[in-house]
């Protein structure tokens, strides 16, 4: 990806709403970009995501902190437009955010937090979400269901990063079985 502009008002205005959404739910950048205003049910405190890879849709609970961040963006930062995407460009022609803008939001935020990781885009936040779920004891099936994977095996990639769990397994005595 290209270099992100430093401290632009555009990124500062979008960061509070886009970053928590990607990080908390582990959504793919395309799922965030395609989220529509009608996908959010404020009364039921839920939202629907149309999955990028597997197709179909999935209902998620809308966490209060994420809902508040989106509401703040909708009322204070999002331009008035007929575009139905939740997250839109700040200048006409108004349309859904592109992949590079989401990458800049994520990487800028991670850099400001001093987080060192090889890749700093939205997918690294998705990976972090899955790793956190694994550390909390979620099964690969549960992680795959939350992330919208078709196959349970797709979630197994997150096992390789759980070094603490692997170290624990390595310490287990096999009691002379070998």
Active-site positions? 28, 53, 123, 126, 149, 158
Beta strand ranges found along 51-120 (DSSP E): 57-61
DSSP 13: H
Cα 130 to chain center, whole Å?
10
Radius of gyration of the chain (CA): 18
Give the integer Cα–Cα distance in Å for 14 and 89. 9
């Amino acid at each position: 990806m290209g270099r992100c502009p430093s401290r632009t008002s555009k990124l500062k205005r979008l960061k509070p709403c886009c970053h928590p959404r990607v990080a908390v739910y582990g959504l793919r950048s395309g799922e965030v970009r395609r989220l529509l205003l009608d996908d959010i049910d404020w009364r039921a405190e839920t939202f629907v995501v149309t999955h990028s890879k597997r197709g179909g849709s999935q209902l998620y609970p809308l966490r209060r902190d994420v809902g508040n961040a989106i509401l703040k963006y909708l009322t204070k930062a999002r331009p008035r437009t007929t575009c139905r995407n939740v997250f839109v460009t700040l200048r006409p022609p108004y349309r859904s955010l592109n992949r590079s803008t989401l990458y800049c939001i994520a990487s800028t935020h991670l850099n400001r937090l001093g987080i060192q990781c090889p890749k700093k885009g939205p997918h690294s936040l998705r990976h972090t979400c899955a790793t956190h779920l694994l550390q909390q004891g979620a099964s690969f099936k549960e992680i795959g269901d939350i992330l919208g994977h078709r196959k349970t095996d797709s979630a197994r990639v997150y096992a390789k990063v759980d070094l603490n769990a692997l170290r624990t397994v390595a310490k287990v005595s096999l009691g002379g079985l070998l």
